[in-house]
A and B are shown apart, each in its own frame.
Chain A
Amino acid sequence: GESVGLHLPTLSVQEGDNSIINCAYSNSASDYFIWYKQESGKGPQFIIDIRSNMDKRQGQRVTVLLNKTVKHLSLQIAATQPGDSAVYFCAENIRGSTLGRLYFGRGTQLTVWP
């Protein structure tokens, strides 16, 4: 598959702090990116997405930043809560590829402690 990797396998933050999860990709033909949250025993849950013609996209408490120059993607979670504890994956779709056909990064385990 394509090379989509994460910088840190684990991240521990205190409740209320902001979290930043990073992701690097190598394929310059990637034009669509998604962040997923996976809780134990569950399937991945869509969080937020961004197209390559954008640099930033905001959702509720989450922001995704895309830096195409260095092929870097980040997910920022504001005011992190215990319910945010999960594994977070970035995934990419290659331009011209079947819609929804995704390559996933390694994953970051986020732990939120009180």
Chain B
Amino acid sequence: SAVISQKPSRDICQRGTSLTIQCQVDSQVTMMFWYRQQPGQSLTLIATANQGSEATYESGFVIDKFPISRPNLTFSTLTVSNMSPEDSSIYLCSVAFGGRPNTEAFFGQGTRLTVV
């Protein structure tokens, strides 16, 4: 398994501003992902954070709105840009280890974002 730390754990932000969420893992991981969980909903994959290259975004998510960095094998950031109240969600970092027959993914505790 892996210990995944997200910062901040929660924040209240003004609309029109941006927030950068950090994800730190205690060991090197092959894959890192970012998910969004809207209130009372399931998890939706935003993007795969690729080390040293641009993230791979899922349908409905774009780099201008959710820029992602992954400078190394243990760290990634997700920025929520030009926020609106509709961006109020829990944002979760997930990691997976490659080279295993069954690649379970582990999650951080999430960042609870409220946009006012």
Contact = CB atoms under 8 A, between A and B. Distances in A.
Contacts of A51: 101-102
Given A100-B103, A102-B105, A43 B110 contact: yes
Nearest to A106: B42
B89 interface: no
Contact of A1 (B1, B44, B102): B44
Interface residues of A, number: 25
Contact of B42 (A89, A98, A100, A101): A89
Contacts of B30: 99-100
A49 B31 contact: no
B106 A46 contact: yes
Given A100-B95, A101-B33, A32 B103 contact: yes
A44 B45 contact: no
Interface residues on B, range: 20 to 34
Interface string A23-61: 000000000101010000111111001010000000000
> Which one of B96, B100, B104 has the highest number of Cβ atoms from chain A below 10 Å of its Cβ?
B104
Interface in B24-71: 30-31, 33, 41-45, 48, 56, 58-59
A44 B107 contact: yes
B98 interface: yes
> Which one of B1, B98, B105, B108 has the highest number of Cβ atoms from chain A below 10 Å of its Cβ?
B105
> Which one of A36, A43, A51, A93 has the highest number of Cβ atoms from chain B below 10 Å of its Cβ?
A43
Interchain residue pairs A-B with the least CB separation, the first 7 = A100-B96, A43-B107, A99-B103, A100-B105, A100-B31, A104-B43, A104-B42
Interface of A: 1, 32, 34, 36, 41-46, 49, 51, 89, 91, 93, 98-107
